[in-house]
Amino acid sequence: MARKLFVLNGSNLNMLGLRQPELYGSATLDDVRSDCERVAGELGFELFFAQSNAEHEIVEWVHDAFRQQAIVVINPAGFSFRSVPLLDALRMLARPVVEVHITNIHARDAVYQHSLISSVARVVIAGAGVYGYELGIRAADRLAPEGGE
């Protein structure tokens, strides 16, 4: 049975490559998906990759990850800073949670510097650009090499 990996993306990440390329770069979410598929395949993960601007949809995907005992790599984007429902959903997970941010949130405006999600993440990667997703998947693999902890 393949290990399950959910890579979840929050608000506005569907606009990667178009929205503020000076801050987020020129890679699109499809580019990120391709990179994630490559790395997940290399490491033997069955990948679920999704993005939503709707908080409730991401919460539902976290519930699915819980049911499937999946590892979660998440870029919660704007949901990082205010989403208690997402935080509560992620708290349920027994498998590692890895939080990814394309920018270094700690060097940004104060509103972006404190992620609620970091309190449940085993690893936080910020500022590595879209390469952070690959780092996140590799970290998740190291944290749960057999799919468990």
CATH number at residue 97: 3.40.50.9100
The verdict on whether residue 14 carries a ligand-binding annotation is no
Q: What are phi and psi of 50, to 5 degrees?
A: -155, 160
**Residue 149's pLDDT is what?**
44
The verdict on whether residue 104 carries a ligand-binding annotation is no
Distance from chain centroid for Cα 11:
12
The verdict on whether residue 103 carries a ligand-binding annotation is yes
Other residues' Cβ atoms within 10 Å of the Cβ of residue 101: 24
Residue 147 has pLDDT above 60, yes or no: no
pLDDT digits (tens, 9 = 90+) for 77-110: 988 888 889 999 999 999 999 999 999 888 877 7
**Host domain of residue 19:** 3-103+116-143
- Output 112 or 27, whichever has higher pLDDT: 27
- From the list 24, 63, 114, 131, the catalytic residue is 24
**Residue 1's pLDDT is what?**
62
Residue 43 lies in a domain: yes
Determine the straight-line distance between the first and last CA of the chain, rounded to whole angstroms.
17
Dihedral sign of CA atoms 112, 4, 34, 18 in order: negative
Residue 137 has pLDDT above 60, yes or no: yes
Residue 39 lies in a domain: yes
Domain count, the chain: 1
For residues 10, 13, 19, 22, the Cα torsion angle rounded to the nearest 10 degrees is: 90
Residue 109 lies in a domain: no
Name, in order, each residue with C-beta under 8 angstroms of 5's C-beta and a sequence gap of 6 or more.
Answer: 40, 45, 46, 47, 48, 70, 71, 72, 73, 137, 140
- Residue 106 annotated to the active site: no
- Output 31 or 110, whichever has higher pLDDT: 31
Residue 10 has pLDDT above 60, yes or no: yes
- Residue 63 annotated to the active site: no
Q: Is 41 helix (H, G, I), strand (E, B) or coil?
A: helix
The pTM is what?
0.93
Residue 148 lies in a domain: no
- From the list 101, 106, 114, 131, the catalytic residue is 101
The verdict on whether residue 12 carries a ligand-binding annotation is no
Residue 49 has pLDDT above 80, yes or no: yes
**Residue 82's pLDDT is what?**
84
